[in-house]
Structure 1
Amino acid sequence: MRIVLLNILLLFSYQSYSQKNIEINQKDGTQIKIKAVNDFEKLEITTSKNNKIQVIDSIETSISGREMHFAIEDYNFDGYQDFATYHLDDGMGVYTIFQLFIYDPTNSQFKQLKMPRNFGSECDEFCDIQINKKKKTIQSSCRGGARWHTDVWKFDKNKNLILLKK
């Protein structure tokens, strides 16, 4: 009986842990549904504002088959919910790699937030993201060789991502 209960608990835990669809309710009443297709091969996004489906097919998945996940957060501090896809790194699994997608309320679409290359950041992708809502910053920490590096990012008045500290 214990084994049956344990298997049921593990099955339930796995189903709730590996979420493949999310829903976001924006502050303007827009409802958004995001569906991961073929194990995050692409994302299909629908909104209550229109009947169009936005397809994002540039999702970086784990090459070693690590589980993909969603996170919902206001990454650019504009009051609208954005989302991220993430997975553990393919090495030792010591940090989490994120792709951030920013919501544009004017067209009800999401756009991937790319890390600017001309700022000389230590990390070449967003890792172990931490949000500081009070300072309106995004911290990204990665490992290079035997060292940990931390970059702190902020959006300027033109909504461009700039590096504050590396």
Structure 2
Amino acid sequence: MKHRDAMLAALVMGLAVTCAHAQDADPARLQLEVAAGVQVQATLQDDGRIAVVLTPSGKRQVLPGVTDADGNARLSAEDVDFDGRPELVARAAVGMVNEAVAVYRYVPARQELVALAPIPNDRAQCGDLMGLTVEEDNRTLSSSCRSGPMWYVDQYRYDGGRLYLYRAERLLMLDDVLEPYVFVKQTADSGPLAVWTTFDSDGNVLETAIGDGLEAPRAGSPLLRVSGHVRVARLPLYSQPGDATTKRYLVRDDRVELLDERDGWVQVRYDNPTRGAVLGWVNTQP
């Protein structure tokens, strides 16, 4: 399923859950056990903040929370850090399709709830934890948001107690400039091309691949690369973006996989029958 459709489905489900809670429980109040013997009573205030009382300590906190345009939100208990204990989660609709999310984890050393914040990474498209989906089977958090006509997905994982950006996308406007050199077959359901990038916990790039910008890769699996065929008789293959000369060429009908893009230069991989994998850069703006 395209992740734009998945996010719309999730939003509809979320609205249904909110309605159900309104019928059989107070959606503005929640009690949960955040650690052995530690209970939290959370109450949504009129200003959107969350009043919290921890027992047996009796400690009180007021958390920022999130709200929609009418000051409403819904509270839930979700195991967001995969430790077997729930976190306090607040969700609220933002605009027509986006959902703001705030997560609060119990920190035993401080005996209080602390906001969950990913390590800053300017590659994240959504910025905050938006439309949060907890993928327990691969221990991944997916944050999704819509900007203009496009859905974006940021995937996060834990390194110890640190939440880091594991995978993100960067949309490309390559279709027209790439087509004269490499033909990539598109269908009616295909989205714009995007560079998907996988990071380690220190923010280093582990892999990149150009793929469908509307098809989020499965977390934990290698990135899938779109492929195309060379359309010109001889296509120069450069070692680095910006190189002026090269002795390497691709020829018409060579099949290449698309890996990355930098300022109009596209990195490709060609499987040479005798030499194996050959990597290089194609200049789409000569």
**Paired residues for 1:27-106 under 5 Å:** 27-40=35-48, 42-56=49-63, 58-62=64-68, 64-65=69-70, 67-90=72-95, 93-106=96-109
Q: Which amino acid aligns with 2:33?
A: N
**Cα distance, 1:13–1:61 mapped onto 2, change above 3 Å:** closer
Q: Deviations over 1:72-107 (max 9, x none)?
A: 1111122221011111112xx213211111121333
**Paired residues for 1:98-117 under 5 Å:** 98-117=101-120
2:34 and 2:87 in contact (8 A); partners too: no
Q: Deviations over 1:17-55 (max 9, x none)?
A: 761110002451222111112252x22211223122122
Runs of 4+ aligned residues of structure 1 deviating over 6 Å after TM superposition are none
2:118 and 2:165 in contact (8 A); partners too: no
What value does the CA root-mean-square deviation take over the aligned residues? Answer: 2.3
Give the TM-score normalised by the residue count of structure 2. Answer: 0.48
Question: CA separation in 2, counterparts of 1:134 and 1:35?
Answer: 31
Residue 143 of structure 1 corresponds to 146
**Cα distance, 1:80–1:163 mapped onto 2, change above 3 Å:** same
Aligned pair count reads 150
Question: CA separation in 1, counterparts of 2:163 and 2:21?
Answer: 37
1:122 and 1:149 in contact (8 A); partners too: yes
> Pick from 157, 161, 164: which aligns with 1:162?
164
1:86 and 1:98 in contact (8 A); partners too: yes
Give the TM-score normalised by the residue count of structure 1. Answer: 0.79
| Structure 1 residue 140: Cα displacement | 0.8
- State the structure with bigger RCO (CA 8 A, min sep 6), 1 or 2: 1
Question: CA separation in 1, counterparts of 2:35 and 2:88?
Answer: 15
The structure having more radius of gyration, on CA atoms, is 2
Residue 19 of structure 1 corresponds to 27
2:67 and 2:73 in contact (8 A); partners too: yes
Question: CA separation in 2, counterparts of 1:18 and 1:150?
Answer: 31
